[in-house]
Amino acid sequence: MDSSFLKSSILQFKYYKELGEKTIEQIPETQLSFKSNSETNNINTIVKHLSGNMVSRWSDFLNSDGEKEWRNRDDEFIDTIKTKPELMNVWNKGWKVLFDTLENLSNEDLNKIIFIRNEGHTVIECINRQLCHYSYHIGQIVMIGKVICGEKWETLSIQKGDSENYNSLKFSNEKEIKNFLEK
């Protein structure tokens, strides 16, 4: 396998990080603890969980189990975050560990076996697993953001009713081979 898998994976993770950040930017600090009911998580706890997962999974990635003994997963679901800067520090801590690890992997590492809770995964499987997990939770953050912002929500993709214009612009360009996330 060539380096396109790693490059594509890193771009996808960056894309979802950006979606989360663009959502959090739109939400007033006072609403980061908003929960629609007692069974849902708020943005603060989702971010704590994502960061806790990232730090655990991607620290000492090729050498130790992804579920570290020092991780306190249950604490991730207790809202202790008080400010947006604090939230962003927690957010960035997890992403830094993830990107530092991914950017230092080689193609030779992709078929190595790593463990998460004693279950073996190839590095490729682990990357795919975590990409799906993180995009799931970032989708939750986006949905909560839409609920909180209501009519003030600034879309993160193609505006409703603008698909024809968007496609027209895309199809007016020459065909090229590149990841859709590359500018």
pLDDT in tens, 115-133: 999 999 999 999 999 999 9
Structure tokens belonging to residue 154: 């600034």
Structure tokens belonging to residue 143: 């949905």
pLDDT in tens, 75-114: 999 999 999 999 999 999 999 999 999 999 999 999 999 9
- DSSP letters, the chain, are --THHHHHHHHHHHHHHHHHHHHHHHS-GGGTT--SSTTS--HHHHHHHHHHHHHHHHTTTTTS-SS-TT--GGGGGS----SHHHHHHHHHHHHHHHHHHHTT--GGGTT-EEEETTEEEEHHHHHHHHHHHHHHHHHHHHHHHHHHHGGGPPPSSSPTT-HHHHHHHHHTSPP--S-TT--
Q: What pLDDT is recorded for position 85?
A: 98
Identify residue 124 by its one-letter amino acid code. Answer: I
Residue 53, pLDDT above cutoff 90: yes
pTM beyond 0.85, yes or no:
yes
Cα 58 from chain centroid (whole Å):
13
CATH of 4-154, one of 3.40.50.620, 3.90.320.10, 3.90.340.10, 1.20.120.450: 1.20.120.450
